[in-house]
Structure 1
Amino acid sequence: MKIGYIRVSTQEQNTMRQEALMEALGVDEVYIDRMSGKNTNRPELQKMMEYVRKGDTVIVESISRFARNTRDLLELVEQLTAKGVEFVSKKEAIDTTTPTGKFMLTVFGAVAELEREYILQRQREGIAIAKEQGKYKGRKPVVSPEFKQVIAKWRSGAITAAEAMRTLHVSKSTFYRRIKQQ
């Protein structure tokens, strides 16, 4: 069976190009994730990895749609290989049934990871420049109207810090930082 895996980074992005490719290749089953590929915690990827059987072929449009770092890529392909499943990436023309394909998989995986690192670096640089220009102030703080009342209860011992954090829907670090700020 031919199994297709499609990923876009956000809900707003379009999957049509990748879906058209899968249709043209005669893929039997398609799994689509609409989220970042920075790790393998993707629901449709996990379903696909559980679903595939010996003799199946997993097809992706490009390596970057499957995994964003070399370690994840190689681990996923190793899991597929252990199940007797082939892996094909159309853009890079990689087929893991050949020694050359396995070698190229490693090379292109490293390139995809480098690309991801460049994206993150440019993002950090852009934020730093925006901060210098006063255009970026970070995330707006979450303000709870009941903050003072909850803190008063906590200080009086009526509730625990954990209960206060749950009531305010804040993390431990946010809770104590806001206490310090008052």
Structure 2
Amino acid sequence: MSKIGYIRVSTEHQETARQEALMKQYQVERIFAEKLSGKNTDRPELKAMLEYVRDGDTLYIESISRLGRSTRDLLNIIDVLQQKRVTLVSSKENIDTNTPQGRFVLSIFAALSELEREQTLQRQREGIAIAKAQGKYKGRQPIPINWKRFSHLYEQWKSGTITAVEFRNQMGLRSNTFYRRLDEYKRKYNK
């Protein structure tokens, strides 16, 4: 019977110190931490934690939103924990799934967490629509390209002197942007 902690923040720039302090208060023995969005369950440390926990363990989290943002994802995670007979304790919501009340409250908070995320996305979409209507939002600006340099590297790539990865890296482009620019170049110069 171990005390396990799961810590998550959404971006690399956010700090985990507050959650780490909470884990010390709970005297957890193992912490799984990551800096990734909670929009889905495709998170390495979440998966590792779910594989690691076993019958009799207690999982401590700062808030249910740290586990997941959608009700479906959260309930699936809770289901895995229940199948493994792992107790979940959430500090912020004061939830302990060892009790029927804790399990009930958890399902309510999961629904509220999903509602909050959907409302945030809706407000974002509405704000962008208003900004577009006012001519203030143009979307993401394209990365400027030195077409002369691109053309030179393109010829080297076509002749087999450099690889596509070297071409892309020398242009300083990410993979998706590189291939979009490659298509644009071919259309523009009939290559």
Call closer, same or farther: CA 1:33–1:130 in 2, change over 3 Å: same
TM-superposed deviation, 1:79 = 0.6
Separation of aligned partners in 2, 1:179 and 1:78 = 51
Q: How many residues align?
A: 176
TM-superposed deviation, 1:3 = 0.6
Separation of aligned partners in 1, 2:128 and 2:29 = 43
What amino acid does structure 2 have at the position aligned with 1:111? L
| Structure 1 outlier segments of 4+, above 3 Å | 142-152, 167-171, 173-182
Q: Which runs of 5+ in 1 are unaligned?
A: 153-157, 159-163
Equivalent residue number for residue 26 of structure 2: 25
Equivalent residue number for residue 132 of structure 1: 133
Separation of aligned partners in 1, 2:130 and 2:154 = 37
TM-superposed deviation, 1:58 = 0.6
Q: Which moved more, 1:131-140 or 1:61-70?
A: 131-140
TM-superposed deviation, 1:147 = 6.3
Deviations, residues 64-118 of structure 1 (Å, cap 9, x unaligned): 1111011111100111111121111111111112221111111110000000011
Equivalent residue number for residue 114 of structure 1: 115
RMSD of equivalent CA atoms: 2.9
Counterpart secondary structure, 2:33: strand
TM-score (norm 1): 0.80
Separation of aligned partners in 2, 1:181 and 1:129 = 34
Counterpart secondary structure, 1:36: coil
Deviations, residues 146-179 of structure 1 (Å, cap 9, x unaligned): 7668999xxxxx9xxxxx9xx77448x9479848
Calculate percent identity across the aligned residue pairs: 54
Deviations, residues 41-83 of structure 1 (Å, cap 9, x unaligned): 1111111111111111111111111110111111001111111
Separation of aligned partners in 2, 1:12 and 1:6 = 15
What amino acid does structure 1 have at the position aligned with 2:24? E
Q: Which moved more, 1:35-44 or 1:136-145?
A: 136-145
Equivalent residue number for residue 88 of structure 1: 89
Equivalent residue number for residue 67 of structure 2: 66
Separation of aligned partners in 2, 1:12 and 1:49 = 25
Call closer, same or farther: CA 1:181–1:121 in 2, change over 3 Å: farther
What amino acid does structure 2 have at the position aligned with 1:10? T
TM-superposed deviation, 1:131 = 2.1
Counterpart secondary structure, 1:44: helix
What amino acid does structure 2 have at the position aligned with 1:23? K
TM-score (norm 2): 0.77
Separation of aligned partners in 2, 1:108 and 1:19 = 22
Equivalent residue number for residue 37 of structure 1: 38
Separation of aligned partners in 2, 1:8 and 1:150 = 40
Q: Which runs of 5+ in 2 are unaligned?
A: 159-163, 169-174
